[in-house]
Structure 1
Amino acid sequence: MTAPREVLSTSHLAATGSVEPQDGATLPLVLGLLDDAKAEDTVSIDLTGKTSLADSMIVTSGRSNRHVGAIADRVIEGLKERGRKDVRVEGLPHCDWVLIDAGDVIVHVFRPEVRHFYNLEKMWGGDRPAERAVS
């Protein structure tokens, strides 16, 4: 399933002088980048009302350390290309679990064994059985 692509209006570009995603546009942008990088088992969790850390959390997997690193690099570069200079990243040297904080969206990219061990979907989405699997 291909995530919807973000469309930036020319009026937004003219008004702000930036290609930074508009409010709410980061989630579809990140989902599209993950799809491009062949991320697996991607789940989007709505954090509204659960925490003030972010509006959404994405949990996804790569097949190996190298794939996890490539997925993370694709997301980071894609966000920077869209003007997001404030992206924070943890875990890139080891690539077992990479955390990408894009402000309103937090992305966790795991190797499958590490994802199973931490089980973030259960921790953050447990009281919301209708959370949607993206792919």
Structure 2
Amino acid sequence: MKAEETIAIDLAGKTSLADTMIIASGRSQRHVGSIADKIIQEMKNRGFGNARVEGLPACDWVLIDAGDVLVHIFRPEVRGFYNLEKMWGADRPLGVALG
């Protein structure tokens, strides 16, 4: 779905919420929604069950909670405002850029 600026943050030892946080951007609300829909469908197809999803109606920020993995998909302006990478230390070597 051509998500942009995708990174993975290792949360092991930082929180009990999840082991990994993936953060990505979509160019628009429609793009964010499409990325989220594709991830949710792929998870179902691969037998990972039903993830909890928040934010789909507005598509400014969609959170997919798949237990051990949290996926955040933002519009660029919203991502910059919340700056989760800084909050969770992705600017340190543990934050890994993806594809």
Q: Same fold (TM over 0.5)?
A: yes
CA offsets, 1:108-130, max 9 Å, x none?
Answer: 0000000000000000015x611
- Decide which structure has the larger Cα Rg and report it: 1
Give the number of the structure whose residues are more often strand, by fraction. Answer: 2
| Correspondent of 1:89 among 53, 59, 71 | 53
Residue 82 of structure 2 is aligned to residue 118 of structure 1: yes
**Moved >4 Å (runs of 4+):** none
| Secondary structure of the structure 1 residue equivalent to 2:53 | strand
Unaligned runs of 5+ in 1: 1-36
Letter in 1 for 2:35: I
TM-score by length of 1: 0.70
| Greater fraction helix | 1
> What is the Cα-based RMSD across aligned positions, in Å?
1.1
Alignment of 1:32-71 (within 5 A): 37-71=1-35
Match of 2:24, SS?
A: strand
**Percent identity of paired positions between Structure 1 and Structure 2:** 67
* Residue 129 in structure 1 maps to residue 92 in structure 2: yes
Determine which structure has greater relative contact order: mean sequence separation of CA pairs < 8 Å that are 6+ residues apart, divided by chain length: 2
Distance in 1, matches of 2:26 and 2:50, equals: 24
Equivalent of 2:43, from 75, 79, 94? 79
Q: Tell me by how many angstroms 1:86 deviates.
A: 3.0
When the two structures are superposed, what TM-score results if normalisation uses the length of structure 2? 0.95
Structure 1 residue matching 2:8: 3-state secondary structure: strand
Give the CA deviation at 1:133: 1.0
